[in-house]
Amino acid sequence: MVGAGSDQFDDGVLSELRAFRPELGVVLGSGFGGLVSSVREVGACSFSDAELPVSSVPGHVGRLVWGCFAGLRVVMACGRVHLYEGWAARDVTATVRLFAAAGVGSLLLTNAAGRISPRLSVGGLMVLSDHLNLTSVSPLDGAAGFIDMTNAYCPQWRGELLDAAASCGVGVGEGVYACVRGPQYETPAEVRMLGALGADAVGMSTVLEVIEARARGLRVAGVSCLTNVAAGLDGANLDHDEVVAIAGGAGGGLVAVLECWSARRKSG
């Protein structure tokens, strides 16, 4: 595992989070910020107040909220920053380090993604089973050592999320997430290449956070909302506003799955 590094998070925010003792950290991707309405809020602050980098991308409001969700103490990050905005890999994973510094031991990451595999449905959810890091960067340096990524996404949690979805009637699949740098969407040829490499969906986030989390010993799960068919698979042009809108519409299903999953974790 790695140390705290040179992060200078706000002492007041960090103290409040440590006193709250969150059991689960959640990062909400494009369009998912509305999920915080399901949290019985105890505290909140802006990313800037916490000394976290702030995104300029629509759908990433840059706010931390902590409180109770389905019986669990959670801290939610409403949004994230990305490599394509000009941030370094270490900036992209700052929220994960804040969570770890606050004592969080479990992390759930969400994102919006383009569907590649025809066995998955647009507008549905995909539990991440593995990933392809095609960004050419890592948030770690040599001091972190060699981090095992064999089961980067907790197999037990993957099964629990799929079971929770089935029990509440929400359509969820499982698959491999490819992370590219962006900000341009993929070409049809690139999408065909990703499919040949084994990717079921593609996006521009999450993977670096998973690497950081695993280096710090956090247990990780990931869920994508499949907001569109990846380029070249249906002839339609891609639009970020549509991505945000579809992700927002899928929020209710994600809340239902997470409430069921969280309740089962609490009772177990």
Binding-site positions for phosphate: 30, 60, 80-82, 112, 205
Please indicate whether residue 85 is annotated as part of the active site: yes
Report which of 120, 232, 209, 101 is spatially closest to residue 165, judged by C-alpha positions. Answer: 120
Q: Of 16, 23, 85, 174, which is the active-site residue?
A: 85
The catalytically annotated residue of 106, 111, 117, 228 is 228
Is 205 a residue of the active site?
A: yes
DSSP string, 77-92: EE----GGGT--HHHH
Pick the catalytic residue: 106, 117, 205, 262?
A: 205
Q: Could you tell me if residue 234 is left (phi over 0), alpha (psi between -120 and 50 degrees) or otherwise beta?
A: alpha
Q: Are strands 40-46 and 219-229 parallel, antiparallel or unpaired?
A: unpaired
Of the residues 70, 102, 112, 221, which is catalytic? Answer: 112
Q: Write down the residue that tokens 């840059």 correspond to.
A: 62
* Pair of tokens at residue 79: 């949004």
Amino acid at 109: L
Q: Under a CB-based contact definition with an 8 Å cutoff, are residues 138 and 89 in contact?
A: yes
The one catalytic residue in 178, 204, 221, 250 is 204
DSSP for 108-120, written as a single string:
EEEEEEEE--TTS
| Catalytic-residue membership of 82 | yes
| DSSP conformation class of 143 | G
Residue 38 known to be catalytic: no
* Given 44, 70, 82, 230, the catalytic residue: 82
Structure tokens belonging to residue 148: 């095992």
- Please indicate whether residue 204 is annotated as part of the active site: yes
**84 noted as active-site residue:** yes
Is position 30 annotated as part of the catalytic site?
Answer: yes
Residue of 46, 51, 84, 101 marked active site: 84
The active-site residue, picked from 30, 38, 106, 262, is: 30
Binding residues for a purine D-ribonucleoside: 186, 228
Sequence ranges of the binding site: 30, 60, 80-82, 112, 186, 205, 228
Residues designated as active site: 30, 60, 82, 84-85, 112, 204-205, 228, 240
